[in-house]
Structure 1
Amino acid sequence: MDVEEYVRRKIADGKDENAIQKNLVDHILGIKDVNPSYASAFARAVIEEVKNTRGLSGDFFEYEPAGVRMGEFGVGSRGKGDFFAHRQIARIIGKTSASVGVDEMDDAGAVCAGGKYIICTVDGMHSRLSDYPFLAGFHVTRATLRDIYVMGAKPIMLFSDIHVADDGDVAKIFDYTAGITTVAEAMDVPLVTGSTLRIGGDMVLGSRLTGCVGAVGVAEHLTARKSTQAGDVLLMTEGAGGGTIATAAIYSGFPEVVERTINLNFLTACETLMKSSAFAGIHAMTDVTNGGLRGDVFEMAETAGCRIVIDESAIGGLVEPHVRDMLEKLKIDYLGVSLDALLVVAPRNAADEVCRVVRSAGVAMHTIGYVETGKPESVLLVDGRERDFSPRFRESAYTPVKKVVDTEVRDFDEMKEGVLRASEAAIEKKRRVLADLRKKN
């Protein structure tokens, strides 16, 4: 519970301060093992701090509201709303000197230094793995290393960030770190730095864990999405999923499936590819994560300006059997959920060799589609007929709660207007503050 937001909302609603304090004390005592006098003093202090922030105005204290909540716009849910929000972030950052910038919506960014490409990326842990810190650390580390590998880079170091709410057990930090370093040591990539903080400091009650892991790599041959060309084919490996599939399994009553997600198949496949002569012929790579194959192929088509056709009949066999069985029982669309499979884009005449190399690492792989000229879009071939393959509003609902949330959707175009207005206001604020700083300096 965010006690600061609770008080801020109640004061804005004109509620009596004594009533706010009494109710907040009840909330505090329901979560924290403290005496009533401490809870009362704490509640009073929160109210005073919130009152001291009222009436602040100007660029440093206000922002233009979008009138759209994160959840209802699907931010973080890897669908249309999330992609739109990320493109606004790219607009605020603007065009930079990066070799691969955020405007290209790739798996990682790249800059050129010393004649080589330096690749950097960061991934947030799955929010629903808060009570399973080892799994959270393992899967987020594997995810960030995937993003380095698919840019054609060799990862050289990892960094982490861990935030635990005020009432969380300190052991969560250690278990999370153990998950990170299990992958780090297996792949011989050192964890070199990080940060450990509480979520919201004193203001958030509970034991929620969140955090991220980032990685840095070095490359000579970039395999960014923009290198996708008409005439290429798409090759995909078998996927057993990561944090998303583990979450679906835990919260839907299939805990035995979690172990299927604990593997290094993706990373070893990339290592094997990068050591082979076949690697030089690869145009682009990505991992099947953002909204599943629907989301990633759509983004690739937009970034490269090509039309991508996927054959549905070629995909099903590349979902790990236990995972596929679970998804079918839960009626979860495997095309719209993160499978953590490797997707390679290469010339048709290089496909067989790429597949042979990956299979030599013990990982299944075959062709699932092709790239052609035309309107930038993604389509799905079902029984020889083309169907729309664009992302849905959110990724496939993969937990009971998500299936409920998926039923509440506001008008998307109306929400987009508010989001766009807020992003433009942020751009203007950046320009104002930058201009002022340049005058001062």
Structure 2
Amino acid sequence: MTQSIKLTSLSTKGGCGCKIGPADLAQVIRMLPPAAPDPNLLVGLDTSDDAGVYRLNDEMALVQTLDFFTPIVDDPYSFGQVAAANAISDIYAMGGKPLTALNIVAFPIAVLEKEILADILRGAADKLKEAGATLVGGHSIEDKEPKFGLAVTGLVHPDKVRANTGAKPGDKLILTKPIGVGILTSSIKKGLLTDEEIERVTAVMATLNKTAAETMDSYDVHACTDVTGFGLLGHSSEMAKGSSAGLRIFSDQVPVLERARELAEKGVIPGGTRNNFAHLVGSVTFPEAMDEIDQLILCDAVTSGGLLISVSGEEAEALFGELKSAGVEAAIIGEVTEENPGHITVI
């Protein structure tokens, strides 16, 4: 039997909230030389997209991504599942099908029981099996702070890549999971959630975006991204700027996890969420009547969030209905406009 330990107590930040902030990351990337041009690189560093896409031939392209983080929940098996679902999500966001994966492990093997690491790996393996992907290996190091994630490779047809840069005026925006994850997972560390609430947020994070991705495949989707560490508005901003289009987000239509606002009012707001909020100054216009708590929730640092889909306005209701019928927690949350390109207006 493994020892009883709160994994979240072993790290200062958890999940995608431990990402380097968007402002700091942008400064670092600007210092790097431009990559050598390659006509087969369909999606690279220049668009802040979810994964890289490299064309192998006229019928096939590789989708490659990597994601790892510190514990976001206390249960090792659940942590493995969430980390795997989060990493695989980038493949789905690009319109691809996951094929293989490599584990990335940092673990205090001399301090924690080996069964804890085995449970993390077992959770990830079960999620990979659900996704239809094959584990082909991995790499591990000893570290005082546990970290886990995966490098995932998928396949996509070169003509069916779903980048975050193609949103068109007239499109509707569909979100496939609720937000507020960062606030609730920070509350886990503070012991503020009931067992049922922990199960709820864990289930949201561990749910694959497979059904949503497969459902959108037959629709006229112009752009897609998954909502993770930079929050709903952060990833929406990347879509707006990359598409040279304006976005309107209807705040009352955005699904938010239960108790997120209550907990935020008590001061449970992750540092990553505040960083996202600060980074978006000048890129987002909020209503004068909206208080800062609601603004911060829209910027909340999400782990393993849903897909943000920009779909033709004529097909939005049909896609939304099919997603709901398939059990996806989807909502139509906004629209794409010609006005204010690169800017978000919250309604």
TM-score (norm. length: structure 2): 0.75
1:215 counterpart = 2:152: yes
Question: Matches of 2:30 and 2:326 in 1, distance apart?
Answer: 36
1:248 counterpart = 2:186: yes
RMSD: 2.7
1:277 counterpart = 2:218: yes
Q: Secondary structure at the match of 1:226?
A: coil
Q: Conserved in 2, the CA contact under 8 Å of 1:301 and 1:307?
A: yes
Task: Give the aligned length.
Answer: 294
Residue equivalent to 1:198 = 142
One of 228, 232, 238 as aligned partner of 1:293: 232
Q: Which has the larger radius of gyration?
A: 1
Larger relative CO (CA 8 A, sep 6+): 1 or 2? 2
1:147 counterpart = 2:90: yes
Q: Return closer, same or farther for 1:186/1:324 CA change in 2, 3 Å cut-off.
A: farther
Q: Structure 1: where are the runs of 5+ without partners?
A: 1-73, 200-206, 383-441
Point out the structure with the larger helix share.
1
1:338 counterpart = 2:301: yes
Q: Secondary structure at the match of 1:277?
A: coil
Kindly state the Cα deviation for residue 326 of structure 1 after the two structures are TM-superposed: 4.1
One of 325, 328, 335 as aligned partner of 1:360: 325
Question: Matches of 2:115 and 2:186 in 1, distance apart?
Answer: 24
Q: Conserved in 2, the CA contact under 8 Å of 1:130 and 1:210?
A: no
Kindly state the Cα deviation for residue 375 of structure 1 after the two structures are TM-superposed: 4.6
Question: Matches of 2:47 and 2:233 in 1, distance apart?
Answer: 17
1:261 counterpart = 2:201: yes
1:236 counterpart = 2:175: yes
Q: Secondary structure at the match of 1:283?
A: strand
Kindly state the Cα deviation for residue 219 of structure 1 after the two structures are TM-superposed: 1.2
After TM superposition, the structure 1 stretch with the greater mean CA deviation from structure 2, 261-270 or 105-114, is 261-270
Q: Secondary structure at the match of 1:227?
A: coil
After TM superposition, the structure 1 stretch with the greater mean CA deviation from structure 2, 190-199 or 115-124, is 190-199
Kindly state the Cα deviation for residue 211 of structure 1 after the two structures are TM-superposed: 3.2
Q: Secondary structure at the match of 2:94?
A: coil
Matches within 5 A, 1:18-417: 76-86=19-29, 88=31, 91=33, 93=35, 95-97=37-39, 98-114=41-57, 115-125=59-69, 127-129=70-72, 132-165=75-108, 167-169=110-112, 170-199=114-143, 207-220=144-157, 221-239=160-178, 244=182, 247-255=185-193, 256=195, 257-263=197-203, 265-274=207-216, 277-278=218-219, 281-315=220-254, 318-323=255-260, 326-327=263-264, 329-330=266-267, 332=269, 333-339=296-302, 340-382=305-347
Question: Matches of 1:355 and 1:106 in 2, distance apart?
Answer: 24
Q: Conserved in 1, the CA contact under 8 Å of 2:73 and 2:202?
A: no
Question: Matches of 1:271 and 1:254 in 2, distance apart?
Answer: 33
Paired AA for residue 187 in structure 2? A
Paired AA for residue 299 in structure 2? G
Identity %: 24
Paired AA for residue 181 in structure 1? A
Q: Conserved in 1, the CA contact under 8 Å of 2:104 and 2:149?
A: yes
Kindly state the Cα deviation for residue 292 of structure 1 after the two structures are TM-superposed: 0.8
Paired AA for residue 247 in structure 1? T
Q: Conserved in 1, the CA contact under 8 Å of 2:98 and 2:132?
A: no
Paired AA for residue 336 in structure 1? C
Point out the structure with the larger strand share.
2
Kindly state the Cα deviation for residue 291 of structure 1 after the two structures are TM-superposed: 2.0
Paired AA for residue 249 in structure 1? S
Q: Secondary structure at the match of 2:19?
A: coil
Q: Return closer, same or farther for 1:130/1:270 CA change in 2, 3 Å cut-off.
A: closer
- Deviation readout 1:215-267 (Å, 9 max, x if unpaired): 1111121110122222222111232666x456313212234322113335452
Q: Conserved in 1, the CA contact under 8 Å of 2:19 and 2:229?
A: no
- Deviation readout 1:259-294 (Å, 9 max, x if unpaired): 1133354524325415x632xx11111111132112
Q: Return closer, same or farther for 1:336/1:381 CA change in 2, 3 Å cut-off.
A: closer
Q: Conserved in 2, the CA contact under 8 Å of 1:272 and 1:358?
A: no
Q: Return closer, same or farther for 1:95/1:252 CA change in 2, 3 Å cut-off.
A: farther
Q: Conserved in 2, the CA contact under 8 Å of 1:129 and 1:135?
A: no
Question: Matches of 2:247 and 2:257 in 1, distance apart?
Answer: 24
Q: Conserved in 2, the CA contact under 8 Å of 1:312 and 1:380?
A: no
Question: Matches of 1:311 and 1:240 in 2, distance apart?
Answer: 14
Question: Matches of 2:192 and 2:46 in 1, distance apart?
Answer: 38
Kindly state the Cα deviation for residue 327 of structure 1 after the two structures are TM-superposed: 4.3
Q: Secondary structure at the match of 1:253?
A: coil
